[in-house]
């Protein structure tokens, strides 16, 4: 990313997240928002994610947890399921025909999963 910068990287990421021809509006939105990221803060976040892990403590997290993933995300559904399986009280739903930008490309589906999960907490 140092070589590209956030403004040059934005269209690449936008095309990867929203590859369908009908998603131009989402690509434009992502490019606009992503281009406003502070490059130093973004790099610091990536560096922190590379060295930080809570995997060894997942079994200690007993609260109800919902994982919403996309079928074409950066990592596979199977990889995510391995994490979910380590939580005592978690479940995962997979949004079809989506990538890492699910809340943007399928907001109604995403929101319905969240609302269903929250409603199940009231029972």
Over residues 64-110, the pLDDT tens digits come to 999 999 999 999 999 999 999 999 999 999 999 999 999 999 999 99
93 and 81 belong to one structural domain: yes
pLDDT of residue 109: 98
Which of 4-8, 28-32, 97-101 has the least mean pLDDT? Answer: 4-8
| Residue-level pLDDT at 118 | 97
Q: Do 84 and 101 lie in a common domain?
A: yes
Q: Are residues 29 and 81 in the same domain?
A: no
Same domain as 45, residue 29: yes
| Residue showing tokens 């990889």 | 79
Is 39 in the same domain as 59?
no
Cα 65 to Cα 8: distance, rounded to the nearest angstrom: 36
CB 93 within 8 A of CB 67: yes
> Residue 20, Cβ neighbours under 10 Å: how many?
11
Q: Are residues 61 and 111 in the same domain?
A: yes
Same domain, 64 and 122: yes
Boundaries of domain holding 71: 54-123
pTM: 0.82
For the chain, what is the largest distance between any 2 Cα atoms, rounded to a whole number of angstroms?
A: 52
CA distances from 2 to 47, 50, 51, 115, 123 (A): 13, 16, 19, 39, 49
Residues in the chain: 123
């Amino acid at each position: 990313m140092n070589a590209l910068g956030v403004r040059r990287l934005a269209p690449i990421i936008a095309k990867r997240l929203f590859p369908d021809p009908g998603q131009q509006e989402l690509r434009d939105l992502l490019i606009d928002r992503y281009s406003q990221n502070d490059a130093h803060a973004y790099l610091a976040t990536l560096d922190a994610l590379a060295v930080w892990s809570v995997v060894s403590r997942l079994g200690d997290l007993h609260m109800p947890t919902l994982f919403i993933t996309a079928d074409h995300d950066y990592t596979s559904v199977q990889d995510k399921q391995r994490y979910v399986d380590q939580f005592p009280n978690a479940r995962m739903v997979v949004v079809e025909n989506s990538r890492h930008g699910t809340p943007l490309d399928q907001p109604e589906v995403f929101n319905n999963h969240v609302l269903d999960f929250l409603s199940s907490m009231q029972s």
